[in-house]
Amino acid sequence: MVVVEEALSDAAAQADRLADEASHHLMAAGGKRLRPFLTLLTGELGDGARPELVDAAVGVELTHLASLYHDDVMDSAPLRRGAPSVHSVWGNTVAILVGDLLFARASARVAVLGPDAVLLQARTFERLCLGQLHETTGPAEGEDPVEHYLQVLADKTASLLAASARMGAMFGGAPQEVVEVVGAYGEKLGVAFQLADDVLDLASSGDQSGKTPGTDLRERVPTMPVLLLRQRVARGVASDDDVALLAALDADLSSDEALADVVARLRAHEVLAETRALAVRWAREAAGELASLPEGPVKEALESFATALADRAA
């Protein structure tokens, strides 16, 4: 990971001063580096010493970072990783263009790995875009909003975690059946990860999440607790308090007082516990995908990764 971190900084470097400063902004703010970690870990299922794994790890993390620049513009998020978001410092145009620059650098890094890697990244990038598009447009008439949201999570978050796991196994030299196993693991892990984030957006402090609690509510970004509440109201099984809470969520949340009120009410509501349970279920199913892998420290680490995600939502 030390080698990957140095390579990430080098890969993001730009000759233009503004582009360089903006490109390193989120990188300097930290981050969990889950995607490159997953790539390096699944690489251990083959020959973990291969130098191609560093290129793969850098490629997936640059892709992730680039997507954050775009996401924050679309969500109007003021903070990312506890620091001011790029668009709030330099404006939307700079944030979008620097995100594009990072996507280009990610593609260049992946290209050295060959056509299979380029195809995987292209298909993942397509899913990232479709996930954001479908989140923006919402479910079609007659489509189940909860199922629609789970598909958005699969595309926006799970696709890149799955690609990260697949890249590691592919370029670590693992058999194709192992590549498929870790890809399926990454898909379910990604959904669990985002459901846990939905819980944290309400249940954690800003210091823990790096975001203002309830940011998604204020920006009208769909999250599972709110969708479950809407589902109750739509099915006619909601209490008067549920209806009142939904009305408050749909009202003006620009003031800190109004936002804090709905966050507190959702924290105490059953829909938050239901979202926690969903996150735990998806994390356990992710771990279940690993059954055919050989016993050993890599399998144990992947299982622990899934357990940590479930614990994160608890």
Average pLDDT over residues 130-155: 94
Q: What's residue 47's pLDDT? A: 83
What is the mean predicted confidence (pLDDT) over 286-314? 91
- Residue-level pLDDT at 311: 81
Cβ neighbours of residue 164 closer than 8 Å, sequence gap 6 or more: 34, 35, 36, 38, 39, 42, 57, 60, 186
- pLDDT score, position 56: 96
Domain count, the chain: 1
Please give the average per-residue pLDDT across 69-77, as a whole number: 72
φ/ψ (deg, to 5) at 83: -115, 160
Q: Where are the beta strands (DSSP E) in 190-281?
A: none
pLDDT higher than 90, residue 229: yes
**What token pair was written down for 221?**
């970004």
Share of the chain above pLDDT 70, in %: 93
Give 126's pLDDT tier (boundaries 50, 70, 90).
very high
pTM: 0.89
Question: Which DSSP letter does residue 139 get?
Answer: P
pLDDT at position 75, please? 66
pLDDT, mean of residues 110-131:
96
Residue 7 has pLDDT above 80, yes or no: yes
Residue 82, pLDDT > 70, answer: no
Domain ranges, residue 15: 2-313
Task: Give the pLDDT confidence score for residue 80 in this predicted structure.
Answer: 66
pLDDT for position 221: 84
**Spatial separation of the C-alpha atoms in residues 170 and 42, rounded to whole Å:** 9
Residue 258's CATH number? 1.10.600.10
What mean pLDDT, rounded, does the chain reach? 89
| CB neighbours of residue 205 within 10 Å | 9
Query: Does the pLDDT of residue 206 top 60, yes or no?
Result: no
pLDDT digit string (tens) for 263-275? Answer: 999 999 999 999 9
* pLDDT, tens only, 273-282: 999 999 999 9
Residue 154 vs residue 49, higher pLDDT: 154
Q: What is the pLDDT of residue 11?
A: 83
DSSP state of 44: T
Confidence of residue 255 (pLDDT cuts 50, 70, 90): very high
Distance CA 298, CA 314 (A): 25
